[in-house]
Amino acid sequence: MTDLRVAVLGVGVMGADHVARITSRISGARVSVVNDYVHEKAEQIASQIDGCRAIADPLDAIADPGVDAVLLATPGSTHEKQLLACLEQGKPVMCEKPLTTDVSTSLEIVRREAQLDHPLIQVGFMRRFDEEYMRLKALLDGGELGRPLVMHCVHRNADVPSYFDSSLIVKDSLVHEVDVTRFLFDEEIASVQIVKPFSNPGAPEGVIDPQIAILRTVSGKHVDVELFVTTGVAYEVRTEVVGEKGSAMIGLDMGLIRKSAPGTWGGQITPGFRERFGRAYDTEIQRWVDAVRTGGTTGTYTDGPTAWDGYAAAAVCAAGVESLDTGLPVDVQLADRP
């Protein structure tokens, strides 16, 4: 079987990481086209990869006959147009979150995809491919904890880019806990409330940080999330599920623990999400490539979170942004699934 020819759109930090992983860590695929709004950056990357071209217009890159599938790592505001182009061209697409930047366009994407013979969109919620999350999911599905009742999540970043504002903490960071909740509990989220504790004086002017998110699922499970994105420390993502018959926790970051004179004890904390979830990204992209390559015979071109998952996460985050203003719980309104 020939290698899948992938166009990577957007070669900022995430896109460049994906180019590197497809080129040197993933089997069965190669990067045939790159695109970026800074064309010189795309040209520079293309020049380092055999048989790769830089194409200046993202829609031309999607339509190019030398492209079998598309990986979108472009800014969220451009996703709607690019996803629609992929659907029109019948090209499978892996889309980094967000699916689109608002709920109505996300729903439109879901509806347009539903008109096709088979789904083509996979959304990049990479935590579903992380070994610890997969083990936790297997534990829950196996019933060993009994019925899950409560989940506590911690989501801390050392810092965030300068353009981050309070609502991005919901849409860019909380969105992962939203997806984890839907993934682990296999049900939708009914309401969300954002509580604002005393703000970190070290946070940029006007940014509400930390925030506490309280999610309630349709069946009444409680999830609380501490979001704190300017700790100045490192990356900490922990998840603890409490069930009828016990609890389980992941994300303890217990790499090497060193004990040394004079009487010290300690180790290192993972610096950021690219390190923490590096292997999960590799697994995610490998499984996507495998699904697309065999799609002609299996009829399935995705292996992971769907456009619906992207839409549902967007709907929860929109309710979260509303709650950020009012401080009150906001119900999540989901359309019927097509």
Binding site for ligand ISE (CB under 6 A): 157, 160, 172-173, 176, 229, 273
Distance (Å, whole) CA 22 – CA 122: 17
Element of type H or E holding 213: strand 211-217
Contact status, residue 8 vs residue 19, Cβ threshold 8 Å: yes
Shortest approach of ligand ISE to residue 230 CB, angstroms?
Answer: 11
Nearest distance from C-beta of residue 175 to ligand ISE, angstroms: 8
| Chain position whose Cβ is nearest to ligand ISE | 173
If the CB atoms of residues 4 and 324 are measured against ligand ISE, the closer one turns out to be: 324
Nearest CB to ligand ISE, comparing residues 23 and 157: 157
What are φ and ψ of residue 21, in 5° steps?
A: -70, -40
How is residue 63 written in tokens? Answer: 């339509």
Judged by beta carbon, residue 106 or residue 157, the one nearer ligand ISE is: 157
207 versus 229: smaller Cβ distance to ligand ISE = 229
CA atoms within 13 A on the CB side of 142: 8
Give dist(CA 79, CA 259) in Å, integer: 49
For the CB of residue 164, give the shortest distance to ligand ISE in the complex, in Å. Answer: 7
Minimum Å gap between C-beta 273 and ligand ISE is 4
We find the least distance from the C-beta atom of residue 188 to ligand ISE, in angstroms, to be 22
Find the shortest distance in angstroms from Cβ 161 to ligand ISE: 8
DSSP state of 117: S
Q: Which is nearer to ligand ISE, 5 or 155 (CB)?
A: 155
Sheet holding 121-123, edge to edge: 53-54, 29-35, 4-9, 69-72, 93-95, 121-123
Contacts of 192 (CB under 8 A, 6+ apart): 213, 214, 215, 216, 316, 319, 320, 323, 329, 330, 332
Q: What is the CA radius of gyration of the chain?
A: 20
CB nearer to ligand ISE: pick between 32 and 166: 166
